Structures are given as structure tokens and as C-alpha cells.
Chain A
Amino acid sequence: MRHVLPRSQVQNFKIPKMEIMGSGHSICPGCGISLSLRYALKGLGRKTILVVPACCCSNADGSLLYTAANVPVFYAAYGTAAFAVSGIRAALDFQGKTDVQVVLWAADSNNRNFEFWTMNGADRREENFICVCCDDQAAIKARFPKSDFRGGLVEIMAARGISYAATASVAYPDDFIDKFHKAKRINGTRLIHIHLPCPPLWKISANLSIQMARLAVQTRLFPLYEVENGEKYTVNVIPDRGFPVEEFLRPQGRFQHLTNMQTEVIQKDVERNWKSLLNRAAE
């Protein structure tokens, strides 16, 4: 073991050292929820209230009044998280605590679908909150998953002109934290769509989850980008080399049924999306 402490650390990621989240949660091994929550809190700081609808995260964080997140957490009933957000926001505004961020934390893709319309309503109310949709791509399962790979959520919300919409991946913690940090300084409805590795669902071994998340970005299947006010597109991570989507699909047990032809269709779809994303960013 070395004894000389490094002065100039050869770090791969420059991220805040402050650790808000604590250990002791009961999230599955290799799941991206705990990491994303941890990174998000690094970006958001302690003045944050989480609202979690019924999802993978609802029994994971703690018991009774205790929470591993170390920020207040409110577990909302199914399909009502955006409303609970509104209530909490209203109460905070009444109390003059306008610096506290309310974050809707929908931690699996059931909620991506289920909370989507409630989020829509919140946007119509011009609610001031950050909506986080963790996407484990649960919908992409049995059949031909072409269209499901499209990161439609950000596009829909961007089309509605919300102040900030972005995608993030746990394999890129620096970018992830930057986005939360940025979202925190913007008012209005903000959306962050997180790509979330789920080992049991994806049928991969737990230790590979970060690697798979990274491959999703590197294959351009889940591009990391942000949209400000529905207009200004920025692509945050441009992969050095275009890995074929097969690199992402083949290691996963859930995609063993894909034929080469199907993979090719996905590849074309991904390329088209990537191209159109670059075009929008260039505008």
C-alpha cells in the first residue's frame, strides 16, 4: 500500500466531494437508482425535497421516518406525485422557503408512463419543480423494441417549451451532476431523463451495470443532451467512436431474441435519431 497521498489526483471525474446521501438503503445490487440519487443530491445540495411515487425507490430508501437520502422524502401515491409536488411547493412558497427545490423522483419506467400526464398537468400549472424520470426501459422487453428506444420524453417536454429538459446517465457522473446543478438555477418545470441500468430486468450481472449504461451512450442509443426553453439544443457527450448498438444489445439477456435484421433496424433508427439530434443542436 502506498503511503504518499496524491496531491494532483489523476481523477476521471471532477465531482463535488460533499456526500449527502448515506449508506444503508435497500436498493438492489447494481441498480442505478442509488447512484443517480446520490449524484443528483451532489448537484442539488441539501435544500431539496424529494417526492417519490410508488416505484422501485419507495421501499428502498428507509424505514419509518428515516431516510438514507438525508433530505426530506415524501412518498406519493400512485399517479399523484406531481400533485404532491404542487402541494409541497405551495406550502414552501407560503413559508417563504423559495430556495428549497422540490424534485419529483420517478424511479422506474412504469412511472415514466404513469406520471407523465400528471407532469403534463404540472407543466400547465407552470409548476416550479424538477421532474426526474429514471428510465430502466422496462417497456422494451418482449417484442420488437425499435420505437421504444427513442428518448421521447425530453422531446415531448421540449416541444412544450419547458425551461430545461435534459438526459443523463449514471456512467457520466460529472455531466450528470452538472445538469442537476444547472437545473437548480433555472425556474419553472424542468425535466431530467435518466437512463437507469436495471440488472435483473436487463438480465446482466450487477457489476456490469455502469458499463452497460456507458455503452448506451457510446452506441448513441441514449444520447446525452439538454434543451433549454425548448429551443437551444446542446449535445453534451459526443462519443469518440460510433459503437454499433449491438455492443449494447448483445450482452443483455433480454435482447437474446433479436435477429440480425432487427438489430440493423435499431441501428438505423439510432443513427437517424442521432443525426437529427445533431441537426437540431447545430441550428
Chain B
Amino acid sequence: MTDSSETGSYPSSWKKAPFIKNSFVRWLIIVGGAIYLAAALGTMNIDLERVKEGLPRAQRFLDSFFPPNFSDNRGVLWEGIAESIWMAIISTVAGIALSIPVGLGAARNLAPAWVYLFCRGVIAASRTFPEIILAIFAVKLFGFGPFAGFVALSLGTIGFYAKLLAEDIENSSASQAEAVKATGANWFQWVNYSIQPQVMPRMIGLSIYRLDINFRESAVVGIVGGGGIGATLNTSFSRYEFDTAAAILIIIILIVMCMEYTSSFFRKWVQ
């Protein structure tokens, strides 16, 4: 709070306290941000002519979106959706199965330093590359189809799930772990009876959340050839069947909405 009146009298007006207190840092951020924005917008070559040309096209485009065509002319719509769902389920399961050892290894309180560093490296690599890039390589290696998507999504799951699992293990209470260790438990018993019960509820919630993400991602790995509804969507875009594309987008949104509600319900139920 700063008062703007002269000394000796009560402040008669009030100014809102700034968000960043240090005025030098504040001005540095404002000026730096302005310079950056000018530079960024300057190099973006926004072609206004093209945008102007595109607007009527957008109108026509949106018109051709409606009404959405659910009639499924080529008979691939529901097949694509089913494929996406199966792909999401199996890749979540496989991804979690792979994440558990990595996550255990990446928890500082369980693993020796070299295992820790190795597992953290795996997580960082998996987190850095978006699922699409993983999918491109999976398609190169395994050929077109849902198997490539499955591999890409499973690898993508590791970065997410193992990281959160490791963090959860690191935050778990050490006294419980000690109590179990004091009974003479071996390493596996120790993990199973002291660590696992502490992290389980959150991990179940997260695996449902990841299923949700994998379904959403499975809608795009198809664009690079990884199977699922994305392949159907991409085909309908390139065949200019925008009404089918609209139907697919609406179905994706509805399924994601359903999954979001179920997953939040499940998470409440588990905790």
C-alpha cells in the first residue's frame, strides 16, 4: 500500500499494491515483454490479405460443418472410435506396467543414485517428446495401424505416470516405512506393505486420468498413421467431408466429457 499524501497528515487516497513489489524488476519485465512482443509479432509475417481471403472461406467451412453427419457413409466412424478406446485402454495398462518399475527407481528414498539417475533420464526423455513424435517413429518402425499408436501412447504414459508415482513415493511418510522395515521385511515386502498402501489411492485416480488423456491423444496419433479415430478424422478432412469431421469431433468431445465425469467420480470414490 502506498500513500500519496504529504507527511504529517493521514493518507487521503489509496493505491493498489503492485503484484511485483520491486519496481525495477517490474519495469524490467514490462519493457522486456514489450520489446519481445514487438520482435515476435514483427517476425511472424502475418499475411492479412490471406486472412481476409480466408474469412469467407471460414464461413463456408463452418457452414459445411453443419449439420454434422453421423450417418457414417464409409462405415468407419464407429470402428475408429472403438479402435481408439481399445488403444487407450491397452496403452494405459501397458504404460502403467512399464511405469511402476521406472517410478520405483526414480524415487530418491528407494533407489540407489545410479538407478535414480537412469530412471529420471527415462522419464525426462519420455516427457520431452510429444506423443505425436513418438508416434511418427513408432509408425516408421511398426508400420501403419493401431499397434504403432499403442506403442507411442504407452511410452508417453511412462513420462507422466512414473514421474507422479516417484514424487508420491518421495512424499510418503517415512515412519510407516520404518515400522514395516523394523519387522524384518525384505525389500519387496517393504515396498508392498509400507509404500504401496500410501500411494495407491492417488495412483488409481491418476491411472483413470491417464486413460482419459490417452483417449484424447489417440485421436491425434492417427494423423501420422497410428490408427484410431484420428485416422478417420484425417481422412475425412482430406476428403473434404467436413460434416463427418464435425460428427467425429462432437463424438470425441462427448466421450471425453463422459470420461471426465466418471474419472472425477471414481477419484472421489477411491479417496
Q: Do A and B come from one complex?
A: no
Interface residues of chain B, those whose CB is within 8 Å of chain A, are none
Interface residues of chain A, those whose CB is within 8 Å of chain B, are none
